[in-house]
Chains A and B, each alone.
Chain A
Amino acid sequence: MEEKYIKHKYEPIHPSKDEWPVVKLARERKEFVKKVADLSEDRILKLTSNNPDILKEELETTLYREKLRIKQNPWVVDPDDDESFWSGVKSSLVQISTEAGRNKIKKLQEYKSILNSITARYAEEIASNFKATHYKFTRSVVTYGFSRLLNAARVKGFKSIFSNQYTLQDKIQITGETDHLRDLATKGTVVMVPTHFSNLDSILIGWVISVLGLPPFIYGAGLNLFNISIFAYFMNSLGAYKVDRRKKNLMYLETLKTYSKEAIQFGCHSLFFPGGTRSRSGMIESRLKLGLLSTAIEAQRANFENGLNDISGKIFIVPVTINYHFVLEAPSLIRDHLSITGQERYYKENDEFSNSYKISKFLVKFFTKGSDISVSVGKAMDVLGNYVDVVGNSLDKKGRLINTRDYFVSGGKVTIDNQREEEYTNMLGKRIVEEFHIINRVFNSHLVAFTAFEIIKKQNRKLDLFDLLRTPQEDITIPYEEFKENCQLVLDKIHELKSQGLINTAPHLSKGMDEIIKNGIDNVGMYHSKRPIIQDNSGDIGTDDMSLLYFYHNRLTGYGLEKLF
């Protein structure tokens, strides 16, 4: 391995697990869930301006949607009493509206109690089931198991299974501002925001966090992942709380936001995938789901309101990009994307991660064949997207010290202004996307996929995207020399961008172009049965699957590199 990257052991920043905020939270789980339920109730009452009629309408909408969900889209993880709980809500609602002789205040009281039963149920469902013992066990299984597999694969011979020559860090490189991150995590509260391409990301990031010696982060994981028992176990022990994307009603969303905000205020380091879901197109997320992000800003303001003006109350946003040669789910993701954006036939989702067998098969392939992953940790920012210095102070663009509290001050004191915070959330979202592009690391596979696709696009200038993707594979061929020339063109531009600090590259891109291309072609989407790039006997470039090529190409959109073609 000629590449230089961080491979050293980090001491845990809190040696005793009793000091982990997430452990403290687990200890107080019951009280915390109740607090979340009550606060959510308050928020919803405020949103419905304490008006029993509006509240009733919201309750009825929620009931209707929940009934529909139970009927049309039931999941294994759903609790057995789902049906009976919502039937109970229904009959209480009917009772209140049919029985005469109630005044407005009484009615509001009764609606409130239904509301509380719902928020309590949601809060309980969302809350994580973190157990420190499980966490330790899981971590050692992941690390131990993976490194056994790895050594068996790379070091030949029977005894190699006990060799320690390779560790997981040989496969997964962690680069960037890791020390700063560790440092800030001891001082304030960290909210990590990674890009999201694969379901594997959750586990990967969990592992990265533990390698860096950080206490576990809590994070929202799609409830669908808990359908799979192996994932459910991992997630629970990594501190995941559950996000159910089927539930889009006001009460659920408010409870979820309250949970996240309160946990951050509690001091739990958190992790959001700000794209909300895996990137379907393969592009770096450009439009972020701002719902959970807004809770970081809310929590920061609440800390200032409570007089926590020193660094212990400060919240740091740390963008992270995860770079792969290969995304297991790419075929279904890109098909999803194409069917959403329009013209392909309707596609029924077929999740490659649908069962434990497939995942295990992937993991074996991953470790035996060697497909490197790199995780780049970006510079920490405050909740407004200003960089922070080594001790956590915010700096403006000119490097002048500023106080994050000032953003929330109006008329000399900290005020609550939801509309203002909404705008701040938009600003933060934009800053995170900018940072993603800056810390994104280009791999040889990204380079070849991008170049190949752009050349094919240029060859067929008259076709729109969907016709282009339907072009018969036999008709597509790029002479090797032309391909090489264009790869060099793109790479030169990438190096230029890199010198301006607008992108990052993997060290292997400094090799000779022939080698870059060869390795790139070998790496890009290496385990797909239909390869995105193939090379025929004469060395010319073709493809087996245009959609996949498009997916891997998309990784480098957003830099204006298309203009080269």
Chain B
Amino acid sequence: MDSKNSSKPKYIGVVGVGSFGAAIANILAAKNPVMVYARKQEVVDEINSNHSAQGKALSENIIASNDPEHLCKSCDVLFFMIPSSGFQQVVKIFAPFLFPYHLIIHGTKGLCLNLESGETLENVKKIKRSQILTMSEVILQETVAVRVGCLAGPNISKELAQGQPAATVIASKYNEVIMEGQSLLRSEKFQVYGNSDIIGVEISGVLKNIIAIASGALAGLGLGENAKGLLISRGMVEMIHLGNALGGSIKSVMGLAGIGDLVTTCNSIHSRNFTVGYRLAKGETLTAILADMDEVAEGINTVRIIKAFLETADLRAPITENLYRVLFEDLEIEDALQFLMKYPFNVDVDFV
């Protein structure tokens, strides 16, 4: 805390140097010195000596540390860019060093569970909204930081790394967080929008991964653009109803983080979620696919959580439900598709 008033230039913190974390760190480094957190000492050394993280090139303006306290003292603004599976744990590591003056923005498109000790998704089966945490809710629950935001939108790391034009959404209840995020990230190549409905934006980013898996499956079956158009539009309706049930507004699903990200991910062979669906349709098993992916496909965990949530919500989500059966109950993709084609979706738009 005593470093607060010193005249040392502040770093911008980035926690996690996966492909998205590295891409964001590079964008941030164009304007400010950046300090990234990596758990493994060899990754830290690689960054500090070679300016690369597991092969991904990093700006020279980036230094690395594996000391959370050092990072929290050196930075007022922190970007958490870690997969949802490790999110709670990493946030807990940082919590003792975070103070109310810290601004935290995360870029994780996944959900966590808020269960009693001893309870798991396997033995609980049904979960209520209060047992699901978005990443911002994890941060609010585990730390004393309140000025929290999230980063979501069509941001494929490879394209960002190549410097192609793109845009993102920063969502937060606090205008201050949105403005800070905008001023740190915005460039000629990178547009940054603001949204005050943080839950809606987080949920949009989370739900679109489900549809992305389904889209990959369609592509794997060799189906064409008509089918994809059908899926994206029905997928959006499903996202809207689920988003509403989880506390987001319809508007956010219609925005960059919802439909924008949905279209991108459903068309992208770079997307991990899309790849899972594609390979499933080609006949591989889920276990085999997961075994040789080096980064997490968030959509799989999301399908399980949403399936359990549907047990308590008065709601049908046919795409998610059938995808769940394909992933975990050995339903053939062709049969799932048959089922969806027969499903009585007879009203086109029923949410506006």
Contacts and interface: CB of A to CB of B under 8 A. Distances in A.
Nearest to A409: B101
B175 interface: yes
A423 B176 CA distance: 11
B95 A419 contact: no
B100 A402 contact: yes
Nearest to A413: B5
Interface stretch (A86-94, A108-116, A132-140, A393-401): A393-401
A403 interface: yes
Which size bracket describes the interface of A in this complex? 20 to 34
Interface string A388-429: 000000001110101110110111100001011001100100
Contact of B175 (A404, A409, A411, A420): A420
Interface string B322-337: 0000000000000000
B95 A398 contact: yes
B147 interface: yes
Contact of B174 (A384, A397, A420): A420
Contacts of B146: 384, 407, 423-424, 427
Nearest to A417: B176
A407 B101 contact: yes
By CB atoms of chain A within 10 A, which of B144, B147, B174, B175 has the most? Answer: B144
B174 A419 contact: yes
Contacts of A419: 174-176
A410 B101 CA distance: 7
B173 interface: yes
Nearest to A423: B173
A397 B144 contact: yes
B4 interface: yes
A314 B248 CA distance: 36
B99 interface: yes
Contacts of B175: 417, 419-420
B174 A406 contact: no
Contacts of B174: 417, 419-420, 423
A420 B172 CA distance: 11
Contacts of A410: 101, 103, 176, 180
Contact of B99 (A406, A417, A427): A406
Contact of A407 (B96, B100, B173): B100
A412 B9 CA distance: 11
Contacts of A400: 96, 144
Given A407-B146, A417-B175, A427-B146, A384 B100 contact: yes
Interface string B87-111: 0000000011001110100000000
A386 B100 CA distance: 11
A424 B173 CA distance: 10
Nearest to A396: B144
Interface in B183-199: none
B45 interface: no
B76 interface: yes
B1 interface: yes
Contacts of B103: 410
Contacts of B101: 406-407, 409-410
Interface class of chain B by DSSP: mixed
Interface in B138-178: 144, 146-147, 173-176
A412 B76 contact: yes
Given A384-B146, A417-B176, A411 B76 contact: yes
B1 A403 contact: yes
Given A400-B96, A407-B146, A412 B5 contact: yes
A384 B140 CA distance: 13
Contacts of B4: 409, 412
A402 B96 CA distance: 11
A402 B99 contact: yes
A58 to B, nearest CB: 24
A403 B5 contact: no
Nearest to B196: A419
A420 B100 CA distance: 13
A409 B146 CA distance: 12
B119 to A, nearest CB: 17
Contacts of B1: 403
A412 B4 CA distance: 6
A449 B270 CA distance: 62
Nearest to A410: B176
Contacts of A409: 4, 100-101
A427 B174 CA distance: 12
A403 B99 CA distance: 8
Interface string B119-146: 0000000000000000000000000101
B140 to A, nearest CB: 10
Nearest to A415: B176
A384 to B, nearest CB: 7
A400 B4 CA distance: 18
Contacts of A412: 4-5, 76
A386 B176 CA distance: 22
Nearest to B147: A420
B245 to A, nearest CB: 20
A386 B1 CA distance: 19
A499 to B, nearest CB: 16
Nearest to B5: A412
A79 to B, nearest CB: 41
A375 B146 CA distance: 32
Nearest to B180: A410
Interface string B1-29: 10011000000000000000000000000
Interface string B250-270: 000000000000000000000
A25 B174 CA distance: 36
Contacts of A403: 1, 99-100
A344 B175 CA distance: 43
Contacts of A406: 99-101
B92 to A, nearest CB: 10
Interface in A274-330: none
A409 B3 CA distance: 14
Nearest to A427: B146
Contacts of B144: 386, 396-397, 400, 402
Nearest to B3: A412
B197 to A, nearest CB: 13
A406 B144 CA distance: 11
By CB atoms of chain A within 10 A, which of B4, B95, B100 has the most? Answer: B100
A386 B174 CA distance: 20
Contacts of A402: 99-100, 144
Contacts of A424: 146
A387 B129 CA distance: 27
Given A396-B144, A403-B1, A411-B76, A420 B176 contact: yes
Contacts of A420: 147, 174-176
A409 B176 CA distance: 11
A4 to B, nearest CB: 34
Contacts of B100: 384, 402-404, 406-407, 409
26 contacts: A384-B100, A396-B144, A397-B144, A398-B96, A400-B96, A402-B100, A406-B100, A406-B101, A407-B100, A407-B146, A409-B100, A409-B101, A410-B101, A410-B176, A410-B180, A412-B4, A417-B174, A417-B175, A419-B174, A419-B175, A419-B176, A420-B174, A423-B146, A423-B173, A423-B174, A424-B146
6 tightest Cβ-Cβ pairs between the two chains A and B: A406-B100, A406-B101, A396-B144, A409-B101, A407-B100, A419-B175
Given A406-B99, A406-B100, A412-B76, 16 more contacts: A384-B146, A402-B100, A403-B99, A403-B100, A404-B100, A406-B101, A407-B100, A407-B101, A409-B100, A411-B76, A412-B4, A417-B174, A417-B176, A419-B174, A423-B173, A424-B146
Interface of B: 1, 4-5, 76, 95-96, 99-101, 103, 144, 146-147, 173-176, 180
Interface of A: 384, 386, 396-398, 400, 402-404, 406-407, 409-412, 417, 419-420, 423-424, 427
